[in-house]
């Protein structure tokens, strides 16, 4: 996450936020934040939200996600909000929404639904 200058200012039970400033290192050819970066922060925000609901002796791994890019990621920064929709012992269903922020105005630019696998007995390194 250091590569894209991301931060995670919100970590709560079942919910996280990742913030990324808009800078030329994350832009595509039209000046918007690249869709790959949008996908990365959506996957990470939802995955870290899942981490907040598993035991300390477990870890998580994304097994699938579907993302819709609904508007260009064009703002001063992006905010990815990840949340747990259904916690489970083996699988966790999560969601992420990514917003482009200009001043105080947020524009939804991506929606993602994700399935996470819980890996019991395999803590993070």
Residue 115, beta-bridge partner list: 64, 93
Sketch out the chain's domains with CATH numbers.
2-120 (3.10.129.10)
Q: What is the pLDDT of residues 67-110, one digit of tens each?
A: 999 999 999 999 999 999 999 999 999 999 999 999 999 999 99
22-27: average pLDDT: 96
pLDDT at 123 over 80: no
Record the pTM: 0.95
Structure tokens at 50: 């899942």
pLDDT at 18 over 80: yes
31-60: average pLDDT: 97
């Amino acid at each position: 996450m250091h590569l894209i200058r991301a931060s995670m200012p919100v970590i709560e039970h079942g919910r996280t936020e990742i913030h990324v400033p808009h800078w030329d290192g994350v832009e595509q050819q039209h000046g918007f934040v690249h869709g790959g970066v949008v996908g990365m922060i959506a996957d990470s925000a939802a995955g870290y939200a899942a981490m907040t609901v598993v035991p300390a002796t477990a870890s998580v791994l994304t097994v699938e996600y579907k993302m819709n890019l609904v508007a260009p990621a064009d703002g001063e920064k992006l905010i990815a909000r990840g949340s747990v929709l259904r916690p489970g012992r083996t699988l966790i269903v999560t969601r992420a929404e990514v917003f482009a922020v200009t001043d105080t105005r947020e524009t939804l630019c991506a929606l993602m639904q994700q399935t996470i696998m819980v890996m019991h007995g395999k803590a993070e390194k």
